[in-house]
Structures are given as C-alpha cells and as structure tokens.
Chain A
Amino acid sequence: MADQIHYQSVRQMSDALLAKDISVIELADAHFERIEQIDDRVGSYLAVTPERAREQATTAQASIDSGNVTPLTGVPMQLKDNLATRGIPTTCSSLMLENFVPPYDSTVTASLANTGAILLGKGNMDEFAMGSSTETSAYKLTRNPWDLSRVPGGSSGGPAAAVAGGLAPYSLGSDTGGSIRQPASFCGIVGLKPTYGLVSRFGLIAFASSLDQIGPLTRTVEDAALVMNAIAGPDTNDSTSILRPVIDYSIGLKDGVKGLRIGVVPEYFGEGIDPQVAQLTRKAIQQLEFLGAEVSEVSLPNSKAALAVYYILAPSECSANLARYDGVKFGFSTHDAPNMMAALEATREGGFGTEVKRRMMMGTYALSSGYYDAYYKKAQQVRTLIRREFDAAFEKVDVLITPTTPTTAFKLGEIQDPVVMHANDVCTVPANIAGIPGISIPCGAINGLPVGLQILGPHLSEATLLRTAYAYEQSTSWHAQHPTI
C-alpha cells in the first residue's frame, strides 16, 4: 500500500483512512519517508514538521474513529512558506525572515487544521513570491520532478513540485500573477487561483495585496474542489474578503459541459507562445467541444497591457508591503552600523535578494512624487479597462480558455534576463489584474514535459471552472500520469 499511495488523490486517501486501510499516522509517515528519500533531489520542502503532524494526527484519527470527518480529515498536506504557521518558521524563502516564527496562524492554516488536515511542512518558493522559477529562493533550488534539470515554475515551485512528485497530496500556494497556475502547468498538476477575496489573505505574507490570492495545488480537479470547500469563505480578519456564504464545490462538479459557452482568445495564442503549446491547447478546446461545449472567438485586445500594468502595480504595492522589514522587531538584522538609518539600510541590503530589491526599487519609483500619475495612476486606469473587457467578454461566453504558460518548463539557470522571466506570466497575469478566477490543468506534454491549459471565468465562477476542468480531465488521462522519481 505505502509505495503506491503517494500518487493517490485526496479523495482516495480519505477513503483509505475511513476504511481503516491505513491510519492517519501511517499515511503521514509514508509521506515523510518519501520526502526523506527523494526531496534532497526535488527540493520542494524548506522544512518538514513531523512533530506538528504527529499532534494533528492524534486528533484527526480520533475524529475519523468517531466519524466526524471531512474529506481532508487525516490527509496530509504542505503549505507554501508565505503562509503563517504558529510556532513554525515562516520565511517566504527570504534571508530577511530566516528566524521569523509567527505567533499566529494564517486563516487558511487554521481552517485546514480545524478540518483535521496534517501539516507535512513548508514549501519552497521564490523569495517573497517574486519570481517564476523558484530560483530566487534564498535557501534552495527546487527541481521539476518531470526533469530534474528544469525549474518547477514559480513562485509556488515547492508546492507544485511536491504535489507532482508525490511528496504531498496537495499544497496551498499563492498567486499574484500566475504563481499557482504557472508552476501547476510546468509540473503537470491542477492549480486554482480563486476570485480575489474568496479565500482570506490573513496570514499570507503580502507581496502585492490587491493581486495576491491563496489557492490549492492538487493532482485532480475533484481534490481542488475539496480543498476549496475548506478554505473559501468570508473572514472578519480580511476586509477584502467577499461576504458570501460558503458553497460546496463538489456539487455539480460532474454535470458536464453540455451547452457551456467557451471563448477562445486569439491574443493568447499569438506571438511568444510556443506553437506546440498553442496546438495542444486548441486540441483540448476541441475535446471540450466534442463533450458538448460551444466554442466561439472572443477578442481581448487590452489583455496585452496586463503585464505592463502588473509590473507597475505589484512592485508599487510590494515596496510598501516590504517596508516593515527593518530588522528592529523580527527577522534578519544588522546591528553593526553607526546609526539607525545606516542599520536599516544594511539590514535591507543584506536581507533581501536581487529580484526583491529590483521590484521594490521599481515600485518606489512608480509611486514617487512626479511619477505617480504617469505610472501608478495610469496603471490603475488600464486595470479598470482590462476588468471591463473581461466583464464584456463574460456576457458572451461562460469561460475563456488559453494556454497557461508560453512554454514548457525551462532549464535551471536558463533565463537570466528578468524581462524574459517576467514575460512568463503573460497568460496568467490578466486574471489577477481583473480579480477573476483561473485554473490550470494538464492537457498534454511536449518531449515529456507537461503542458497546462488555463480556464478563466467571471468573478465567483469557481464552480463552473471546476466543472469544465473536471469534464476535460475525466475524458483524458493526463492526470493519471506521474513522473518517475
């Protein structure tokens, strides 16, 4: 049992626990063993938390024995290291937070704990979630389980690699410009970025507050629905969370796509998109059409401005969000300085990596007096245009389908030019700008490397996205393929 179980779905693991085929602790230990065996090659975990897992397992097992369960009870999971975990270091893969142990749980950490989920450890990521390859982590590289010479994507590279490599059945990531969907695509798994405000951001260490959103990385679409059931919903600690009753995302999941109106956006298949990726995406759309969906073309000309808007707004917000790291109250600190301002400068010089500094500089510039109108304000105006364009599109179609990424996973160290790296987010960024949900699911492979398909929908259309994704997934076998590692 133990040697096949890591590629089972959350649902299957839950069933095994309920059938008493395996105990909660055995299931967690099976994962810790696999982490022990292969994670020195994958590098998906920054830290493992067997003690916490053991504590949680006792409670979860009692819940299972008494029949008081959800499908996540007793099932292990990983959290991206920008999600606050009480008593467990939360570093954002930054030297700056090397010794930071939060005295509180993020809302999602608490929600999962309350439902009996078992924490295996914290996932590696790009520093402060800034990057598309997980190479900006201050601590380690994460490798793509499909090809260890390649990146897993980013910034949720640790979570994606862990889920793809059978090192966790699911993980929570965060997505500011594609940080869940792009690595999910690179690693051949499911990644859902929910509507902005659907999942509480409390305890998510902020990168860009108006864009950040937490979501699941899973191996099946159904699992994504199950995890959403546990983490979605209003939170009084997050004023931007949407006040709406929680719904059950597994209801209607299997209703199919008959009559579903799919929009194909030519702008997402043009320049910069690998023709083979475009071709696999079109093939997937044909498959959905075959399953009963109606396909039409929808133009989104403003989408091409999304990347520029993103690279003004996200750095602007991060320049303020990261201002608190001054070495005074927590985290990395340099004391050897003649005065307070010098100590602050030395702390920030030593504690932050290059990409983080670059973005803070860009943001500080964009918000500066005299430049604000030309950059930040203009970007906000264009953001409104992009939002309206999506709104208009969703009056004609139910969902839009695009490639998730322009290419398959690239090699470690292959992309050095930050502008080229930033261009990796071209298909995913518009959803963050508009605050709409998007899901990436596997739709094939090129030379053994997974390709992802992105489905976008209007605000709070997660159920539709999951239903569409499920219909496609069940009619193909991509989700059943796993890397051999």
Chain B
Amino acid sequence: MTEYEPVIGLEVHAQLITNSKMFCSCPADYQSAPPNTHVCPVCLGLPGTLPVINSEAIKKIILTGLALNCSIAEQTKFDRKSYPYPDLMKGYQISQFDLPICYDGHLDIDVDGEARRIGIERIHMEEDVAKLFHRTEAGSGEGYALVDVNRAGVPLMEMVGRPDIRSAEEARQYLVAYRSILQYIGVSTGSMEEGSFRCDANVSIRPKGVLEYGTKVEVKNMNSFRAVFHAIEFEIERQSKVLNEGGRIVQETRGWVEAKGETISLRSKEKANDYRFFPEPDLPPLIVKQSWVAEIAELLPELPIERRVRFEDELGLSPYDAGQVTASPRLADYYESVIQHYIEINGPSGTIAKSAANWTITELGRLSNDGQIPVEDSPLKAEYLAELIGLIDQKIIGTSQAKIAAESMFTTGKSAKITVEELGLAQITDSSAIGDAVREVIEANPSAVADYMAGKETAAKFFVGQVMKVTKGKANPTIVSELIIEQLEAKK
C-alpha cells in the first residue's frame, strides 16, 4: 500500500462586526432581529438601487490582513459573481475576483511543539446572502422555503489559505488560530454555531515524496471545529482507499454529514457554476491610501501569539498553559485579571501565575464545558477566583473544598468568602479542636495504636484519614499529622 500525504487548503468565511451592512445602512446584526426587519430596497436588491461601500468593513478587513502579515492592495475593486439562487437578492453577489484587498500573508501555528507556517493567498470582501429555511407543508408534505433577508448584505470576509496544511489536526489548529486572531482584533465573533464563521476545505492526497498535487475535493457543511477535523480525516481515508483500490479521485464538491460521520457527493466539477465575474460597474475602483493603512496598523492589539510569548516569558507559563489561556482574548483578559486581583488582595506571589492558569484551564474549563458557557461569561468573576486561590494559599480552605466552592460560585456568582462560609468549607486550624478529634480517634482504635507501637509507621496515615472523616475534611491535614504523631509518641 502506498503511503499518502494529504494536501489541505481552507477557505474561511467570517462575518465582520460592523454597525451597518456592507452596501447599505441597514443594521448588520441579523441574529436577534425578527425575520425581514433589517432590510431596505438596497439589500432587498430592488430595481434601481445602488451599493455604497461600508468603510468600517474595509477598515476591519485591512486590520485582519495586517494581523495575518498580508500585503494590502493600494488599488482594489469589486466584481459581480453571478449565479441564480433565491438567497441572492440581485442574482449576483458583490465580491472580489482578481484584486483582493489583502494578499500574500501567513499564519504561524504550533502543532505538537512543531512550528508550522501556513500561507494565506488572499482575503477579500463580499456580502453575505439571505438565509433560507427549508420547510415541509404539514398536510401535503410539499416542500417550500422561507427567505430571511436580514443576513443579506452583512459584510463577509473570505480568507483563502494556501494548500500548506498536511493533516486534519493542523487544519483544526490553523482554524482555531485564525479565529482567535479575528477575536483578538475584534473584527468577528467567530461563532461557527451561529454561522458567523464558516469553513470549506479543499482536500487532496498524493503519494509521499511526489510534488504534484492530486485531484482536489471541496468539502462543505462543516459546522464545528470538530466537524472540520473529522471531515478531513474521513476524506483523507476515503481518498486513500479509492486510490489503493485502483480508483480515481473525481473533482467534486462533497458535503459533511455529521450524523453519519461521512462526506457525500453534492455536485461534480462538470456541473459547477460559471460565475461570469466582471467588474462591478456600480462601484468605482477602491483606492486604499497607505497613510490610512498606517493608521489602521496603529489599532492592532497584542495578537494571540504575542500574548502567549509574553505569558511564557513574564509569567513563566509552560507553552501549553500559555496557549490554553490565550485561546480567546477574553479568556486571556480573565486570566490576567485573576492575577491582578490576587496581587491586590495578597501582594506579590511566585505561584499565582501557575495556579491561576491551572484553575482557569482545568477546573473552570470543566465547569465551562458542562455548563456550555465560556469561562469569561460565567457568573464566577475573576476577582472571586483570585479570592478563592487566596483562601487556599492562606490555608483557610483545602483544594478539595475549593473545588466545591468553585462549582457553586460558577452558578451563583457569589464571592469566595461568602460561599466558603455558607457551605461551611473553612478548614479547622484550631489545634485544640483538632487535638480533641485526634484523641477521640486514637481511643476508638486501640489495635491501630498497637500496630503503630509495634513500629508500623503507616498506621499514622490511617489515623489522619479517620480524623479527616470525623472533621468532614475540614481539618488542616498538616496540623492533623503533627498532632497524631505528637499524641502517639506521648503514649510510647
């Protein structure tokens, strides 16, 4: 069997966050609005209407280009892409054909500790289309479709990556990194679930060592990062199987069927649309002044990779931890805020960076997954997590009590102190109270005492467990151990 190397290129559509649509003044937020309320003659494509470019959208795509190391075109233009479909109000989409605003960039990712640079061919501006809802008539079973034009004309940015990706995992990492950048620079919400971030993958395989590309297949309908990963994995395997069985890969568009975990053929290349691109005569060429690009460059915030490196260098985080807490800008803000609050309460600390990272990634990560709510949006505020870590460090509570507290705080939003108090989680550090419990346990277990006396030092551990049980886990374990040894030694 031949060993194959996958060649993958991603095309990613991301809606830009702007007040108004790409070519008219309708509000661009379409998710929350009742159907067909954010519309006007322009985005409805009524006869005689004309597009006007939204400069905020242009600014945001340029910001994106700069964040991805792209060149920014000094002169660019829009083109009409024609195809008949009821989600397209004008019968053509205003897009960009041969002169994209951003071109020749790259994105650096880290896959299993290996640095990879994935090329970006272009990022161009276009308008989103209307949303179709396919329905079936209850009685007759006849199919019909409803059209919501709110989404038509929302600024949409298409990034075309070079075929530099070599595995499904690389594709996933690249997509995560791209989304993270968009979120960092504040141009897109990047939500695959809501459809503001969509990915198509071009997948081909070639025998290892061969330079020539194989026939590529375009995979669509992947609605999550997981889906992208699995669809590509599936496609690599499918293509390998076809070739190994002596078959031929057909150039086609395939759709990922989540429920079945497979891709199915949607249309062959022979039936592909001829989009008949030509320059949009309703919009003059767009001249992008270099001085404007320089102004926009000033707006570039710290990017994920820069923040990650800073966290590693300044806070001493491991590359893994740094990568995790910088996954989204708001999570990174949350993490930094925890540290800041901690220092305000407790003063400087050599351990807070690591412990805050652990809590944010592991414990809150788990609660976030369970509750389907991002850590930074949960009721558990950064300042309360800082407070909670402070309580651990001051040995007021133990780690296991802290986890119980955190779980509660994640839903109630109450402060650490109040939660620990209400749930009675504080550690017992009063030596006389612990001493009483130790005495009680020693008196109740004469055989274990005998074992200890006989030299079985491990018997002491049994007593620690028993004392913790009696104190419901609240006794400070260090003090418990000390007192047990003290009392047992006194009996010798």
Instruction: Indicate whether A and B interact.
Output: yes
Smallest CB separation, A328 vs chain B (Å): 5
Instruction: Kindly identify which residue among B50, B82, B90 contacts A238, using a CB–CB cutoff of 8 Å.
Output: B50
Looking at B199-207, B246-254, B278-286, B412-420, the stretch in contact with chain A turns out to be B278-286
Instruction: Kindly identify which residue among B45, B274, B278, B284 contacts A324, using a CB–CB cutoff of 8 Å.
Output: B45
The chain A residue sitting closest to B273, CB to CB, is A369
A364–B92 alpha-carbon span in the complex (Å):
13
Interface residues of A in 61-120 (CB under 8 A from B): 82-84, 90, 92, 97, 100, 102-104, 106
- Please indicate the chain A residues that have their CB under 8 angstroms from the CB of B86 in the complex: 326, 328, 340
Do A206 and B52 have beta carbons less than 8 Å apart?
Answer: no
Cβ contacts A430-457/B at 8 Å (1 or 0 each) = 0000000000000000000000000000
**Is there a chain B Cβ closer than 8 Å to A210's Cβ?**
yes
Q: A102-B48, A206-B47, A326-B84 are in contact. Are A317 and B281 (CB under 8 A)?
A: yes
**Is there a chain A Cβ closer than 8 Å to B365's Cβ?**
no
A202–B41 alpha-carbon span in the complex (Å):
11
Instruction: Kindly identify which residue among A240, A323, A328 contacts B284, using a CB–CB cutoff of 8 Å.
Output: A240
A253–B51 alpha-carbon span in the complex (Å):
36
Do A239 and B53 have beta carbons less than 8 Å apart?
Answer: yes
Instruction: Kindly identify which residue among A84, A326, A367 contacts B48, using a CB–CB cutoff of 8 Å.
Output: A84
Do B278 and A100 have beta carbons less than 8 Å apart?
Answer: no
A-B contact count (CB 8 A): 103
**Is there a chain B Cβ closer than 8 Å to A372's Cβ?**
yes
The chain B residue sitting closest to A97, CB to CB, is B47
- Please indicate the chain A residues that have their CB under 8 angstroms from the CB of B281 in the complex: 208-210, 240, 317
- Please indicate the chain B residues that have their CB under 8 angstroms from the CB of A317 in the complex: 278, 281
Interface residues of B in 47-71 (CB under 8 A from A): 47-53
Do B284 and A102 have beta carbons less than 8 Å apart?
Answer: no
Instruction: Kindly identify which residue among B48, B51, B53 contacts A203, using a CB–CB cutoff of 8 Å.
Output: B48
A10–B27 alpha-carbon span in the complex (Å):
43
**Is there a chain B Cβ closer than 8 Å to A201's Cβ?**
yes
Do A102 and B52 have beta carbons less than 8 Å apart?
Answer: no
Interface residues of A in 318-338 (CB under 8 A from B): 319-320, 322-326, 328-330
- Please indicate the chain B residues that have their CB under 8 angstroms from the CB of A208 in the complex: 281
Smallest CB separation, A90 vs chain B (Å): 8
Do A202 and B50 have beta carbons less than 8 Å apart?
Answer: yes
Do B283 and A102 have beta carbons less than 8 Å apart?
Answer: no
Do A205 and B47 have beta carbons less than 8 Å apart?
Answer: yes
Do A323 and B48 have beta carbons less than 8 Å apart?
Answer: no
The chain B residue sitting closest to A208, CB to CB, is B281
- Please indicate the chain A residues that have their CB under 8 angstroms from the CB of B50 in the complex: 201-202, 237-240
**Is there a chain B Cβ closer than 8 Å to A296's Cβ?**
no
Do B278 and A376 have beta carbons less than 8 Å apart?
Answer: yes
- Please indicate the chain A residues that have their CB under 8 angstroms from the CB of B49 in the complex: 104, 202-203
**Is there a chain A Cβ closer than 8 Å to B91's Cβ?**
yes
**Is there a chain B Cβ closer than 8 Å to A295's Cβ?**
no
- Please indicate the chain A residues that have their CB under 8 angstroms from the CB of B53 in the complex: 239
Total contacting residues, chain B, CB less than 8 A:
29
The chain A residue sitting closest to B90, CB to CB, is A324
**Is there a chain B Cβ closer than 8 Å to A231's Cβ?**
no
Do A237 and B90 have beta carbons less than 8 Å apart?
Answer: no
A367–B89 alpha-carbon span in the complex (Å):
20
Do A372 and B278 have beta carbons less than 8 Å apart?
Answer: yes
**Which of A206, A323, A344, A368 is most buried by chain B, counting CB atoms within 10 A of its CB?**
A323
Do A324 and B48 have beta carbons less than 8 Å apart?
Answer: no
Do A239 and B92 have beta carbons less than 8 Å apart?
Answer: no
- Please indicate the chain A residues that have their CB under 8 angstroms from the CB of B89 in the complex: 324, 329
A238–B145 alpha-carbon span in the complex (Å):
33
**Is there a chain B Cβ closer than 8 Å to A341's Cβ?**
yes
**Is there a chain B Cβ closer than 8 Å to A484's Cβ?**
no
**Is there a chain B Cβ closer than 8 Å to A236's Cβ?**
yes
**Is there a chain B Cβ closer than 8 Å to A316's Cβ?**
yes
A118–B244 alpha-carbon span in the complex (Å):
78
- Please indicate the chain A residues that have their CB under 8 angstroms from the CB of B44 in the complex: 329
Smallest CB separation, B38 vs chain A (Å): 15
The chain B residue sitting closest to A317, CB to CB, is B281
- Please indicate the chain B residues that have their CB under 8 angstroms from the CB of A35 in the complex: none
Interface residues of B in 128-182 (CB under 8 A from A): 145, 147
A83–B47 alpha-carbon span in the complex (Å):
10
Do A320 and B82 have beta carbons less than 8 Å apart?
Answer: yes
**Which of B48, B91, B281, B282 is most buried by chain A, counting CB atoms within 10 A of its CB?**
B48
**Is there a chain A Cβ closer than 8 Å to B122's Cβ?**
no
Interface residues of A in 231-266 (CB under 8 A from B): 236-240
Cβ contacts B24-43/A at 8 Å (1 or 0 each) = 00000000000000000100
Smallest CB separation, B249 vs chain A (Å): 23
Do A368 and B276 have beta carbons less than 8 Å apart?
Answer: yes
Smallest CB separation, A347 vs chain B (Å): 11
Smallest CB separation, B476 vs chain A (Å): 72
**Is there a chain A Cβ closer than 8 Å to B230's Cβ?**
no
Interface residues of A in 182-218 (CB under 8 A from B): 201-206, 208-210
- Please indicate the chain A residues that have their CB under 8 angstroms from the CB of B284 in the complex: 239-240
A324–B92 alpha-carbon span in the complex (Å):
8
The chain A residue sitting closest to B272, CB to CB, is A369
**Is there a chain A Cβ closer than 8 Å to B257's Cβ?**
no
Instruction: Kindly identify which residue among B47, B82, B145, B274 contacts A102, using a CB–CB cutoff of 8 Å.
Output: B47
Do B41 and A102 have beta carbons less than 8 Å apart?
Answer: yes
- Please indicate the chain B residues that have their CB under 8 angstroms from the CB of A323 in the complex: 82, 84, 90-92
Smallest CB separation, A100 vs chain B (Å): 7
Q: A317-B281, A367-B276 are in contact. Are A204 and B48 (CB under 8 A)?
A: yes
The chain A residue sitting closest to B44, CB to CB, is A329
- Please indicate the chain A residues that have their CB under 8 angstroms from the CB of B276 in the complex: 319-320, 364, 367-369, 372
Instruction: Kindly identify which residue among B46, B82, B147, B283 contacts A328, using a CB–CB cutoff of 8 Å.
Output: B147
A323–B82 alpha-carbon span in the complex (Å):
8
- Please indicate the chain B residues that have their CB under 8 angstroms from the CB of A92 in the complex: 47
Interface residues of A in 290-309 (CB under 8 A from B): none
- Please indicate the chain B residues that have their CB under 8 angstroms from the CB of A341 in the complex: 84
A325–B88 alpha-carbon span in the complex (Å):
11
A285–B90 alpha-carbon span in the complex (Å):
46
The chain B residue sitting closest to A209, CB to CB, is B281
A124–B150 alpha-carbon span in the complex (Å):
35
A28–B277 alpha-carbon span in the complex (Å):
48
**Which of A240, A324, A368 is most buried by chain B, counting CB atoms within 10 A of its CB?**
A324
Do A240 and B90 have beta carbons less than 8 Å apart?
Answer: no
**Is there a chain A Cβ closer than 8 Å to B474's Cβ?**
no
Do A106 and B48 have beta carbons less than 8 Å apart?
Answer: yes
- Please indicate the chain B residues that have their CB under 8 angstroms from the CB of A364 in the complex: 276
Do B52 and A239 have beta carbons less than 8 Å apart?
Answer: yes
- Please indicate the chain A residues that have their CB under 8 angstroms from the CB of B145 in the complex: 340
Q: A323-B82, A323-B91 are in contact. Are A202 and B278 (CB under 8 A)?
A: no
**Is there a chain A Cβ closer than 8 Å to B80's Cβ?**
yes
- Please indicate the chain B residues that have their CB under 8 angstroms from the CB of A237 in the complex: 50, 52
Do A367 and B278 have beta carbons less than 8 Å apart?
Answer: yes
A239–B281 alpha-carbon span in the complex (Å):
10
A46–B346 alpha-carbon span in the complex (Å):
84
Instruction: Kindly identify which residue among A319, A330, A340 contacts B46, using a CB–CB cutoff of 8 Å.
Output: A330
A103–B46 alpha-carbon span in the complex (Å):
9
Do B41 and A104 have beta carbons less than 8 Å apart?
Answer: yes
A368–B277 alpha-carbon span in the complex (Å):
8
Do B84 and A344 have beta carbons less than 8 Å apart?
Answer: yes
A82–B41 alpha-carbon span in the complex (Å):
16
Smallest CB separation, B55 vs chain A (Å): 12
A208–B280 alpha-carbon span in the complex (Å):
11
**Which of B47, B91, B147, B283 is most buried by chain A, counting CB atoms within 10 A of its CB?**
B47
> Chain A: residues with CB nearer than 8 A to chain B?
82-84, 90, 92, 97, 100, 102-104, 106, 201-206, 208-210, 236-240, 316-317, 319-320, 322-326, 328-330, 340-341, 344, 364, 367-369, 372, 376
13 A-B pairs (CB sep. < 8 Å): A102-B46, A201-B50, A203-B49, A239-B51, A239-B53, A240-B283, A319-B82, A324-B45, A326-B86, A340-B86, A344-B84, A367-B278, A369-B274
Sample of 10 more A-B contacts, CB < 8 Å, known A103-B46, A205-B47: A97-B47, A206-B282, A236-B52, A240-B281, A320-B90, A324-B91, A326-B86, A326-B91, A328-B147, A344-B84
- Nearest 4 A/B pairs, CB to CB: A323-B91, A209-B281, A210-B281, A367-B276
